[in-house]
Amino acid sequence: MVKNITIFTTNTCGYCQMVKKYLGAKGMDYEEVNLDEHPHRQAEALQLSGAMTVPVTVVTKHDDSQEVIVGYNLARLAPAVA
């Protein structure tokens, strides 16, 4: 079961829109961290994902385990939020 979802995005990132569109279509709530508006949180995204890219989607389960999905990767995103 999903407890919460955080997506790191930027204003110009098309793949970020796709992640938001997918979660929106599933009726799932998420917190968006826009790195253009909050550049000080870049290090956090980098630490979680190990990659200098967005989108980074962090799915926290009810047991507080986390799954981090880098990029728009439906093969990983879909089961993570199912």
Partner 1 sequence: MKSRDRVVVYGAEWCADCHQSRQLLNEHKVAYDYYDIDSDPKLKAEMLALTNGQNVIPTIKIGDRIVQEPTNDELLTMLDLKQPEPETVTHDVIIVGAGPAALTAAIYTTREDIDTLLFERGVVGGLAAVTDMIDNYPGFPEGVAGLTLADDLRKQAERFGAVIELGEVTAIHDEGKYKRLETTSGDMLAKAVLIATGSDYKKIGVPGEQEYYARGVHYCATCDGAFYRDKRIAVIGGGNSAVQEAIFLTRFASHIDLMVRSTIKASDVLQTELKKYVDDGKITVHLETSTDEIVGVNNSVTALKGTHQGKPVEIALDGVFVFAGLLPNSQFVKDSLELDEIGFIKTDDNLQTSIPGVFAAGDIRSGATMQIASAAGEGATAALKIREYLENRPHPAQN
How far apart are alpha carbons 74 and 77 in whole angstroms?
5
Residue 53 is a binding residue for partner 1 (CB under 8 A): yes
Residue 22 is a binding residue for partner 1 (CB under 8 A): yes
Residue 35 is a binding residue for partner 1 (CB under 8 A): yes
Residue 38 is a binding residue for partner 1 (CB under 8 A): no
Which residues would be at the binding site for partner 1 (CB under 8 A)? 10, 12-18, 21-22, 35-36, 39, 42, 46, 50-55, 70-72, 74
